[in-house]
Chain A
Amino acid sequence: QQAKEQFFPVLVYRTGAYAPNGVPWANGFIDYLKLTNARGGINGVKISFEECETGYATDRGVECYERLKGKNGGAAMFQPLSTGITFALTEKAPVDKIPLITVGYGRSESQDGGVFKWNFPLAGTYWVAGDVIIQHIAKKEGGFDKLKGKKIALVYHDSPFGKEAIPILQQRATMHGYQLTLLPVPHPGVEQKSTWLQIRQQRPDYVINWGWGVMNSTLLKEAQAVGYPRDKIYGVWWAGAEPDVKDIGEGAKGYNAVTMQHGAEPNAPFIKEILEKVHGKGQGTGPKDEVGSVLYVRGAMSAMLAVEGVRAAQERFGKGKVMTGEQVRWGLENLNLTQAKLDALGFKGVMRPISTSCQDHMGAAWARIHTWNGSKWEFTSDWYQADEQILKPMVRAAADKYAAEKKIQRRTPQDCQS
């Protein structure tokens, strides 16, 4: 029966400059949806889904959004998978009453649910990523006080995505007295010679890589070409997957990246389940050997969070029913994924609990560091939690500025109940 299906729009990019990274994410996302169906749906509600190719272009993304939002009974959430598209949809979602889930990307200040009622940067924002990287470096150096006088260079994709990291790194720089150099790399990032000339000149102690797509592999190759030690380079979680390092192999050995909790998880229970129930039945979306890779898991996890959002909404608005965008929004805002729940879903060892609230749309600020050993990614650190003391005021200030510009009122406590 038709009405019993919950529609998931899937914005992807399987072509163009960022396709190598977009494809595994999309495959993971779809496979997880298929797995959920194989598990019997969300309390019996099956999932239907449709892909739309954005090519990472904002206008195509907007078109996809418009196309899919009314389809198959209506979309109850969107995952734009691009910072640019997120910005554009942030204006549209409140009007259409559809929540936006941006797992690990998008506006960092949208964590503030008091202003960004419809945005859900679940499981981590760029400020979390930046904060954790600095914490890790500090730990390596033997404490925050050791950072004083150190040089850190941020090599970033010259776009809103790349610039997201700057505020937190600057904030920390003023606190700890390291010297931050900003080195933008224009899209798509294949030309970094002058960047690395500058790095050779300044000899920073660490390089932080805020890249995406081909920029990452180029960056590592340039690092190799000028002999910069790869183990002094830290990437954001969009710069820490297999396509970024695979064809460099040994040359990228030692390169680190912060993870959005998970890494490559070939042994996670839910991956095994996917291999068995989806790929095993010949319904796998991509090649089998990609299952469990970093971006694949990111896709699957993004799908899981959306599914759990729907499930949470069902808890309140009626189990076994198809949820609307508003209802899912409530679900996402009242997500409480305990460790037990996660384990049951097969995410044991992959991630930590997430619980959201009206004020906090992120739900968790945990991250680890993993390192490329020449053939695969390995965890090389413990869990870190981003420093609330630092992030909270930043989020608040940025959100307030946005609210003022947009003339939006902060949500009242009653509104939070709704």
Chain B
Amino acid sequence: MGFFIEALMGGLMAGMLYSLVALGFVLIFKASGVFNFSQGAMVLFAALAMARFSEWVPQWFGFESKLLANVIAFFLATACMLAFAWLVERLVLRHLVNQEGVTLLMATLGITYFLDGFGQTVFGSSVYAIDVGMPKEPVFILEEVFDGGLLINKEDLIAAFVAAVLVAALSLFFQKTGTGRALRAVADDHQAAQSIGIPLGRMWVIVWFVAGITALVAGIIWGSKIGVQFSLTTIALRALPVIILGGLTSVPGAIVGGLIIGVGEKLSEVYLGPLVGGGIEIWFAYVLALVFLLFRPQGLFGEKIIDRV
């Protein structure tokens, strides 16, 4: 029983971490109809910027304070993401107005390659650490109830909390503000949005910047968990079933999807894995997402796919 609870909690926590990455995808998709393949690369880039600046800043300015270094690095990294968003709009999206989804997807792939190369050139390709003072050592609770106690990972708890805050803020933004509504309009029809005076360029800079910030947050949390290096990009693959399950256009969906996927894959790996040789969690996550899709083709909270004649 203790173990089950632990696995369950582990799954929930892992799910929250996926959600953090998934959010970036959802944001850009919901707000511009672009399936942003480069989200993984953005996470890496942002994390690299954060890690390296927090290392360089004290050297440049000659101070010791870790906290100050982190704060400055955070702002510098944010600035990087803003510059990135601006450049993406300028150099890429602006020229691809009104193109089909696959074309845009492909363009974000180009961005991915570029960003991977650029990030490693500027920031290097070793392993870097982000140390924002996340607690690493485990805590055990209810030791008197369960043998060995229940393991609680404080780092994960903090991550989950951050993800929840982000989601709440973003949901409000989309539902309650005019900009949010305009962003959804852009996703539906670029041209019509232009025709009524929505400045596509500005909208895109905004969403890509916001997505950049979620990437930065995800990068900091994941980076402090597993170190900053190239493999961070691959967690995007773990976030895919999450957004698909939650619905490509739903911010809360990213969280719920994350929780379901997280729990599903951990429980399956722990309970079914040993029977078939293990390593099943990744495909299990996808199969799980698929099963849900068969009942709701647009994901749990996604906007209904419209087909009308």
Quick check: do A and B touch in the complex, using CB within 8 A?
Answer: yes
Chain B residues bordering chain A, tally (CB within 8 A): 42
B120 to chain A, nearest CB (A): 6
Cβ of B226 < 8 Å from any Cβ of A? yes
Give A246 to B131 CA distance when docked, in angstroms.
13
Contact partner, B137, options A20, A217, A227, Cβ 8 Å: A227
- When the two chains form their complex, are residues B230 and A15 in contact, meaning their CB atoms are under 8 A apart? yes
Q: Mark B127-145, 1 if CB is under 8 A from A, else 0.
A: 1110000001110100000
A184-B277, A214-B231, A218-B226 in contact; A243/B126 too (CB < 8 A)? yes
CB contacts (< 8 Å) of A195 on chain B: these are 269
Closest to A213 in B: B231
A197-B270, A226-B138 in contact; A17/B231 too (CB < 8 A)? yes
Q: Which of A185-193, A253-261, A324-332 contacts B (4 or more CB under 8 A)?
A: A185-193
Known A188-B231, A197-B269, A217-B226; further 7 A-B contacts with Cβ < 8 A: A193-B13, A193-B14, A195-B269, A200-B3, A214-B230, A226-B151, A227-B140
- When the two chains form their complex, are residues B234 and A197 in contact, meaning their CB atoms are under 8 A apart? no
Give A17 to B140 CA distance when docked, in angstroms.
34
Cβ of A10 < 8 Å from any Cβ of B? no
Interface residues of B in 227-259 (CB under 8 A from A): 227, 229-232, 234-235, 238
Closest to A246 in B: B127
A28 to chain B, nearest CB (A): 15
A219 to chain B, nearest CB (A): 10
Contact partner, B278, options A183, A189, A201, Cβ 8 Å: A183
**In the A-B complex, the 8 residue pairs with the closest CB atoms:** A194-B269, A247-B129, A184-B279, A188-B231, A214-B231, A19-B125, A227-B138, A20-B127
A103 to chain B, nearest CB (A): 23
CB contacts (< 8 Å) of A227 on chain B: these are 137-138, 140, 151
Cβ of A182 < 8 Å from any Cβ of B? yes
Give A185 to B281 CA distance when docked, in angstroms.
10
**Sample (5) of A-B pairs whose CB atoms are under 8 Å apart:** A188-B234, A190-B226, A197-B6, A214-B127, A221-B227
Cβ of B282 < 8 Å from any Cβ of A? yes
Cβ of B153 < 8 Å from any Cβ of A? yes
CB contacts (< 8 Å) of A17 on chain B: these are 229-231, 234
Give A190 to B229 CA distance when docked, in angstroms.
11
Give A226 to B148 CA distance when docked, in angstroms.
11
Give A246 to B129 CA distance when docked, in angstroms.
9
Contact partner, A251, options B126, B136, B140, Cβ 8 Å: B136
Q: How large is the interface on A (under 10, 10 to 19, 20 to 34, 35 or more residues)?
A: 35 or more
- When the two chains form their complex, are residues A190 and B10 in contact, meaning their CB atoms are under 8 A apart? no
Cβ of A306 < 8 Å from any Cβ of B? no
Closest to B232 in A: A190
- When the two chains form their complex, are residues A221 and B136 in contact, meaning their CB atoms are under 8 A apart? yes
Cβ of B110 < 8 Å from any Cβ of A? no
Give A81 to B247 CA distance when docked, in angstroms.
42
CB contacts (< 8 Å) of B278 on chain A: these are 182-184
Cβ of A173 < 8 Å from any Cβ of B? no
Interface residues of A in 197-247 (CB under 8 A from B): 197-198, 200-201, 203, 213-214, 217-218, 221, 224-227, 243, 246-247
CB contacts (< 8 Å) of A23 on chain B: these are 125-126
Give A182 to B277 CA distance when docked, in angstroms.
7
Cβ of B273 < 8 Å from any Cβ of A? yes
Which of A16, A186, A187, A247 has the most C-beta atoms of chain B within 10 angstroms of its own C-beta? Answer: A247
Cβ of B225 < 8 Å from any Cβ of A? yes
- When the two chains form their complex, are residues B226 and A194 in contact, meaning their CB atoms are under 8 A apart? no
Cβ of B266 < 8 Å from any Cβ of A? yes
Cβ of A311 < 8 Å from any Cβ of B? no
Cβ of A158 < 8 Å from any Cβ of B? yes
A193 to chain B, nearest CB (A): 5
B262 to chain A, nearest CB (A): 9
CB contacts (< 8 Å) of A198 on chain B: these are 269-270, 273-274
- When the two chains form their complex, are residues B234 and A19 in contact, meaning their CB atoms are under 8 A apart? no
A184-B278, A200-B6 in contact; A194/B266 too (CB < 8 A)? yes
Cβ of A298 < 8 Å from any Cβ of B? no
- When the two chains form their complex, are residues B226 and A214 in contact, meaning their CB atoms are under 8 A apart? yes
- When the two chains form their complex, are residues A217 and B126 in contact, meaning their CB atoms are under 8 A apart? no
A34 to chain B, nearest CB (A): 22
Contact partner, B279, options A14, A158, A190, Cβ 8 Å: A158
Closest to A224 in B: B136
CB contacts (< 8 Å) of A225 on chain B: these are 136-138, 153, 155
CB contacts (< 8 Å) of B3 on chain A: these are 197, 200-201
A415 to chain B, nearest CB (A): 40
Closest to B225 in A: A221
B236 to chain A, nearest CB (A): 11
Cβ of B210 < 8 Å from any Cβ of A? no
Cβ of B89 < 8 Å from any Cβ of A? no
- When the two chains form their complex, are residues A194 and B265 in contact, meaning their CB atoms are under 8 A apart? yes
Give A203 to B126 CA distance when docked, in angstroms.
33
Closest to A183 in B: B278
Cβ of B215 < 8 Å from any Cβ of A? no
Cβ of B46 < 8 Å from any Cβ of A? no
A193-B10, A198-B274, A225-B136 in contact; A19/B226 too (CB < 8 A)? no
Give A203 to B2 CA distance when docked, in angstroms.
14
Closest to B140 in A: A227
A206 to chain B, nearest CB (A): 18
Give A247 to B226 CA distance when docked, in angstroms.
9
B35 to chain A, nearest CB (A): 22
Give A198 to B274 CA distance when docked, in angstroms.
9
B163 to chain A, nearest CB (A): 16
Closest to B281 in A: A194
CB contacts (< 8 Å) of A213 on chain B: these are 231
B132 to chain A, nearest CB (A): 13
Closest to A244 in B: B127
Give A150 to B265 CA distance when docked, in angstroms.
29
- When the two chains form their complex, are residues B230 and A19 in contact, meaning their CB atoms are under 8 A apart? yes
- When the two chains form their complex, are residues A194 and B270 in contact, meaning their CB atoms are under 8 A apart? yes
Give A364 to B148 CA distance when docked, in angstroms.
44
- When the two chains form their complex, are residues A217 and B282 in contact, meaning their CB atoms are under 8 A apart? no
Closest to B13 in A: A193
B54 to chain A, nearest CB (A): 13
Interface residues of B in 84-143 (CB under 8 A from A): 120, 125-129, 136-138, 140
